Chains A and B, each alone.
Chain A
Amino acid sequence: MKEGVKLNNLEKLFECIKKIAKRNPEKILLPNTFFIFGSVKYDESKCIACLTCYENCPLGAYDVERKFDLSMIKKIDLSKTYWKRAIIYQLIMEIAVKDLEGYVEVPEGLPGYGSVKHNEDLCISCRKCVDLCPTGALSFECEFDMKKIWR
């Protein structure tokens, strides 16, 4: 655990597990209702940078990345993305004379483009962001990475 968020009880729990564990399992599967453990997964291709997660995270575990990944446009299945995004991506592909690569800077205060960065060390797995995410870019994995304990 990093400094900044000190969850004493959690650390104590980790110590206990370390003591009693005989082997070192990679991952353990948890029941869906089991909070605290588990991790948030972020899929950048689905994200629309509405910043709902950033604004609602109780611990500030999200950072705004003011960069729009151009190469992502090629990877996305346009028929599955949102209507206007598909139009914009299609137009960009059609008018591009260069290969779609690199990042485009997004001006500050322009929501809808760019991405967020999830800082796992600050996350307490409260799942608020996952519940609020309108696009399904954030999902919750009920697996717990045991490496976290051994670290």
Chain B
Amino acid sequence: MKKENEELRIGFFQCHCGKNIGGVVNVKEVVEYAKKLPNVVVAEENMFLCSDPGRNQIKEAIKKYKLNRVVTSHCTPTLHQETFRTVLKESGLNPFFHENVNTREHVSWVHYDDPKKATDKAKVLVAGGIYRVLKHKPIETIRVKVKKSVLVLGGGPAGIQAALDLGKAGYKVYLVDKMPHLGGNMARLGKVFPTDDCPICILGKKFHEIRTTKEIEVITYAELKEISGFVGNYKVKLIKKPRYVDENKCIGCLSCVNVCPVRVPKEWDEGLTYRPAIYINYPAQFPRVPVRDEKSCINCGACKRVCPTGAINFEQKPEEIELEVGAIIVATGYEEWKPKELEEYGYGRYKNVITQLELARMLDPEGPTHGKPWRPSDARFDKRTRKLIIDGKPPKRYVFIQCVGSRDERYFSYCSKICCMYSLKHAKMILTDVDPNAEIYMCFMDVRAAGKYYEEYYRDIQKLGLRIIRGKVSEIRENPDKSLTVIVEDTLLGKKIQLNADLVVLASALRPRKDARELADKLRITLSGDGFFKELHPKVGPVDTVTAGIFIAGAASGPKDIPDSVASGSAAAARAMALLGKGEIEITLNKAEVNEELCIGCGICQKMCPYGAIKVYETYKGRKAKVSEIECQGCGACAGACPTGAVMRRNYELDQIFAQIEGIIKAAKELFKDEPIVICFACKQCAYAASEAAGTSRLKYPPNVFVIRIPCSGTIDPAYILKAFKEGADVVYVGGCEPGSCAYVDGNLKAEKRVKFVKNILDKIGLGSERLEIFWIPAPEAKKFAEVAKMMVERARKLGPNPLRVKEMKIPMKITR
């Protein structure tokens, strides 16, 4: 802890990273340079600082030289900041007395062609880090007790797996499904690839396990109403819709289903078959309790009369259930897109054009034809017998069309991943079980059979006689006998082919659930550009979300097949266990903080906070803002907006960023004398990640761009920008996430407004708004980062030096505008 008037002793450590840094940057020079900087007691180098010898070197230096601040210069903070913070902690120092300088991704990997300038840039960044660390303050961690229970939303294969893993590990699990039963979309498929076993049999085993695991409580026909609280202590309200059948009394005899006189199209079968008003979706469903559809019921009471246990109750009301859980797993799955907009295929217009999910329902052995497909134009509903009558020949010629909506810029640019496989599976089912002489044509762009046993599966089906055509279908016409003519552009033969078909089956795209946005808002998590839930990191955080304690599993985060869904369900369960396992969690207060002496209770921060974590309260000292440190996510939007400077984002405080700017520009003025100085404030979620990616892919850009890392572009304070200009920066720019993809809801838009305002000021005071810009640089767009950097340096050259810098250089001032 910092004592009063304690002398600040900084240790500086430069890593070679093998040849990664040392091969370009003159490490000795950087170390010598660092020794001359204020308060630096010792400056050393190491081949691999993150290795055991490297870490021990730091520990020994801390002991030997009585260091109380440490600056390490190596790769990006995303990778090893935590490593060195731990070293400080182990040495008895507060971990936040450390600062990380990025001399790999920002220096050696992007300026490898100019070792001289690369070394200079490294020195500049090191100076920034050393000035900054002088202002660092200790940040404490607190311990919070957590509830050892988990809410799993969605009872598909991912949700079931997550619930079972958690339940068996001894956690209380609430498995919630909005359908009247579990199973998800998986239960609708007649068979599942690549082993062609029936999903009901697999699910049946899982249902049995759920039944026998005491810790799992299944709540079906329920939806999330609202959620409050924070990681480890969420309070959830569910609305359980009335099913009008008492789940505890029902014995699943289905007498009620058999007597019901009503018939309406069955949603579960995509409207291809008919169901009573009191119904079950599939015989093996769990729980095997019918549900009464209030809208189609004619209130005749027949079901009530036959029920042997008196379970049917028409007076049931929606029920509100309150739960307290430590974590939430979202496994809400996907929906099949109904390709009505794609007019060339005629779905919705021609009766015999169906989707693959509809074919799956026809092929289901429990269906009305016991797994034999029919032409929907031949089917009619007989009112007298209340049965589906199919008169007409079974279909003989099928045309499967792949990539309907998927990989199409007009609809869904992503690959739906499972369409190739389920189309092959359906072809196999028809050719083996239904009609070995059926003609099946599959029109595809590419067959993507990537997965264990998938390629073999594809080969098997080709041997069975599946005819494949590489080409896109341009038109479908209906003939008078309701058969269809399909015109395909065969790209391998280079000519048009005309096919006759009894049934055209579209492999329609998988899309996010329609209520995904609403659910994301409730849970305070984000959606990616395609509308699925966004993971924290596509590679190393595939089941985490931006909100701590909320995980995503299965197809809710993007199209997945069953093995992947199950794996991600287990992964999410393991992440939840890792979070809650100890019964308490450690929270580092690396978040917003209020200085009560400065706070005047104006409430601006409260308006800025997207999480409701900062609020103004009436206290005996007057109205003061207070941060709920557990709910705060640390974006710093409040700090950037606070007019008095009372609210600060810890570790990104005004004087810390000021010191970093001072350090960088002071050194840059000396080392980049005739060059423009460009400062970039980069959001660590996107623009900074893009700068890392630019390093990894060795994209060159001018070395006079100096990046300052901020937690979110919403942290940006007009003061930061003005300070950079005051110190002598020629051009400043801010890098934020694209609108709609901000990890903290809308920090980027807040930043945009502040930047716009400062631009207006710059225009009025004569500096010119061209010197300041904001860009949207998404994390994967390394190229864009490099291009923007180049562009801004060009602009700085064109605009000429900052007038203040000119004054200092004692060159006659010239405003080049």
Contact = CB atoms under 8 A, between A and B. Distances in A.
Interface of A: 48, 50, 52, 68, 70, 82-85, 87-88, 91-92, 94-98, 100-102, 104-113, 134-135
Contacts of A135: 600, 602
Given A113-B757, A134-B600, A85 B643 contact: yes
6 tightest Cβ-Cβ pairs between the two chains A and B: A84-B645, A98-B766, A50-B602, A82-B644, A91-B722, A97-B766
Given A97-B815, A135-B600, 14 more contacts: A48-B604, A50-B643, A84-B642, A85-B644, A85-B645, A87-B645, A88-B718, A92-B722, A92-B765, A98-B764, A101-B764, A104-B757, A107-B757, A134-B601
B34 to A, nearest CB: 29
Contacts of A92: 722, 761, 765
A107 B725 contact: no
A50 B765 contact: no
A92 B602 CA distance: 23
Interface residues of B, number: 37
19 contacts: A48-B602, A50-B603, A70-B761, A82-B598, A83-B644, A83-B645, A85-B644, A87-B645, A88-B718, A91-B719, A91-B722, A92-B761, A97-B803, A97-B813, A100-B765, A107-B757, A110-B750, A110-B754, A134-B601
Contact of A112 (B643, B756, B766): B643
A103 to B, nearest CB: 8
Given A84-B719, A107-B756, A113-B757, A97 B604 contact: no
Interface string B588-611: 000000000010111110011000
B55 to A, nearest CB: 39
- Name the residue among A95, A105, A106, A108 with the largest chain B CB count within 10 angstroms: A95
Contacts of A85: 643-645
B602 A105 contact: no
A101 B763 CA distance: 12
A95 B756 CA distance: 18
Contacts of A91: 719, 722-723, 725-726
A100 B765 CA distance: 6
A141 B804 CA distance: 45
A101 to B, nearest CB: 8
Nearest to A48: B643
Interface string B709-724: 0000000011100110
Contact of B757 (A48, A82, A106): A106
Contact of B765 (A88, A95, A108, A111): A95
B669 to A, nearest CB: 16
A84 B645 CA distance: 5
B607 A111 contact: yes
A87 B658 CA distance: 11
Contacts of B607: 111
A81 B62 CA distance: 42
A70 B757 contact: no
B659 to A, nearest CB: 13
B641 interface: yes
B331 interface: no
Interface in B675-726: 717-719, 722-723, 725-726
Contacts of A113: 757
B116 interface: no
Interface in B398-418: none
B767 interface: yes
Nearest to A113: B757
Please classify the interface of chain A as helix (H, G, I), strand (E, B), loop, or mixed, using the class held by over half of its residues: loop
Interface string B766-778: 1100000000000
A134 B623 contact: yes
B175 to A, nearest CB: 42
B753 A107 contact: yes
Contacts of B598: 82-83
A133 to B, nearest CB: 9
A135 B753 CA distance: 24
Contacts of A94: 726, 804
B654 interface: yes
B681 to A, nearest CB: 16
Which of A68, A106, A107 has its CB near the most chain B CB atoms (within 10 A)? A107
Given A52-B602, A107-B756, A82 B766 contact: no
Given A48-B643, A52-B602, A135-B600, A97 B767 contact: yes
Contacts of B753: 107-110
Contacts of B498: none
A142 to B, nearest CB: 23
B644 A95 contact: no
A107 B598 CA distance: 26
A98 B813 CA distance: 13
B760 interface: yes
A103 B815 CA distance: 22
Contact of A134 (B602, B726, B767, B813): B602
B643 A96 contact: no
B644 to A, nearest CB: 4
Contacts of A102: 764
A104 B764 contact: yes
A84 B756 contact: no
B644 A84 contact: yes
A98 B719 contact: no
A70 B722 contact: no
Interface in B744-793: 750, 753-754, 756-757, 760-761, 764-767
A73 B597 CA distance: 24
A139 to B, nearest CB: 15
A87 B717 CA distance: 11
A83 B653 CA distance: 13
A81 B267 CA distance: 66
Contacts of B623: 134
Nearest to B761: A104
Given A82-B598, A87-B719, A96 B766 contact: yes
Interface in B721-745: 722-723, 725-726
A40 B804 CA distance: 43
A104 B757 CA distance: 8
Contact of B722 (A50, A52, A95): A95
A132 to B, nearest CB: 8
Contacts of A88: 718-719, 722
A134 B644 CA distance: 11
A118 B754 CA distance: 25
Contacts of A87: 645, 654, 719
Nearest to B655: A87
Contact of A95 (B654, B717, B804): B804
B765 A96 contact: yes
B650 to A, nearest CB: 16
Contact of A104 (B608, B643, B719, B760): B760
A135 B725 CA distance: 29
A70 B607 CA distance: 25
B642 A98 contact: no
A87 B721 CA distance: 12
A50 B604 contact: yes
A70 B766 CA distance: 13
B641 A112 contact: yes
Interface in B160-199: none
Nearest to A94: B726
Contacts of A95: 722, 725-726, 765, 767, 804
Contacts of A82: 598, 600, 643-645
A89 to B, nearest CB: 10
A107 to B, nearest CB: 4
A98 B284 CA distance: 80
A100 B767 CA distance: 12
Contacts of A52: 602-603
B757 A111 contact: no
A16 to B, nearest CB: 40
Contacts of B815: 97
Given A104-B760, A107-B757, A84 B722 contact: no
